[in-house]
Amino acid sequence: MADDLRAEFIRFAVDGGVLRFGEFRTKAGRISPYFFDAGLFCDGASLGALAGFYARTLLAAERSGRVAFDMLFGPAYKGIPLASATAVALAQKGRNVGYAFNRKEAKDHGEGGTLIGAPLAGRVVIVDDVISAGTSVGESIDILRANGAIPAAVLIALDREERSGNATQIGERSAAQEVEHSHGIPVLAIAALDDLLRFLDSDDAQGRKLDGHRDRVAAYRSRYGAPADH
């Protein structure tokens, strides 16, 4: 079931033009042969489908005992629609939970403050698109703890499984592994780089004329990929 969900998500991202192949410079200055931009899930149908993948991934992790949660938190800005839509998708699956999100700047009128939504309490899952350096995750964890809530997990769309650092300096752990090591909470991803490689090895990719990208993605994985045991 998990493998089917991951493969289904990769196909969905490719079909939506959200997962693209070519040459892309990452924030770290590396030239990546693929690029994932969750901001391109920008209409009701695609956002709703994406939220369904988030919800299924989170519920599967809960059933397996990997995570227990009471509500969701969406860090500004991309996390806001993702957490909101995921809360809707969870409710549609019979799991109704609260959600909250933050502003970048405090509001000094109306309700004021930097937090909107349900009061932060209990075990909270942080919902975002990807983890780059882990900085925003650390900020979200600080917000949760400052309000008496417990960070339970981070839920993202794609784990690049890529070592931290830049084009010349390569760390030992991926950004997701750094979060797990530093904060002691799991990072749940709908799919990861290894799932993308499996897709590029498939007849499906060949039928879409995408299999030619496989060697470049594999070479990138070999150079920058984080070992699984870190």
Residue 176 CB contacts under 8 Å (≥ 6 apart), including other chains: 131, 154, 156, 159, 161, 187, 189
Q: Residue type for 37, please?
A: D
Using alpha carbons only, give the angle 191, 197, 202 rounded to the nearest 5 degrees. 105
CATH of the domain at 178: 3.40.50.2020
Is residue 230 a part of any domain in this protein?
Answer: no
* 31 vs 25: CA distance, rounded Å: 5
pTM: 0.92
Best CA proximity match to 194, nearest among 167, 168, 182, 176 = 176
Q: Is 98 exposed, middle or buried (0-12, 13-18, 19+ CB in 10 A)?
A: middle
Best CA proximity match to 217, nearest among 1, 24, 61, 83 = 24
Is residue 159 a part of any domain in this protein?
Answer: yes
Is residue 55 a part of any domain in this protein?
Answer: yes
Is residue 84 a part of any domain in this protein?
Answer: yes
**First CA to last CA distance, the chain:** 26
Q: Is the pLDDT of residue 41 over 70?
A: yes
Q: Is the pLDDT of residue 230 over 80?
A: no
* 156 vs 169: CA distance, rounded Å: 25
pLDDT in tens, 178-192: 999 999 999 999 999
Is residue 21 a part of any domain in this protein?
Answer: yes
Mean residue pLDDT of the chain comes to 91
Q: What pLDDT is stored for residue 1 in this prediction? A: 56
Domain range spanning residue 116? 2-224
Q: Which one-letter DSSP state was computed for residue 28?
A: T
**Active site positions, annotated:** 107, 109
Q: What pLDDT is stored for residue 26 in this prediction? A: 87
Q: How confident is the model at residue 134 (pLDDT cuts 50, 70, 90)?
A: low
Q: How confident is the model at residue 3 (pLDDT cuts 50, 70, 90)?
A: confident
pLDDT in tens, 48-72: 999 999 999 999 999 999 999 999 9
Residue 136 CB contacts under 8 Å (≥ 6 apart), including other chains: 75, 128
Structurally, how many domains does the chain consist of? Answer: 1
Is residue 187 a part of any domain in this protein?
Answer: yes
* 48 vs 35: CA distance, rounded Å: 21
Is residue 213 a part of any domain in this protein?
Answer: yes
Q: Residue type for 190, please?
A: I
Q: Is the pLDDT of residue 165 over 80?
A: no
Three-state SS for 202-219 is CHHHHHCCCHHHHHHHHH
Q: Which two tokens stand for residue 211?
A: 């299999």
Least confident residue range of 30-44, 71-85, 106-120, 194-208: 106-120
pLDDT in tens, 71-126: 999 999 899 999 999 999 999 999 999 999 998 776 554 454 789 999 999 999 99
Q: What pLDDT is stored for residue 19 in this prediction? A: 96
Is residue 89 a part of any domain in this protein?
Answer: yes
Q: Is the pLDDT of residue 168 over 80?
A: no
Q: Could you tell me if 120 and 147 are in contact, meaning their C-beta atoms sit under 8 angstroms apart?
A: yes
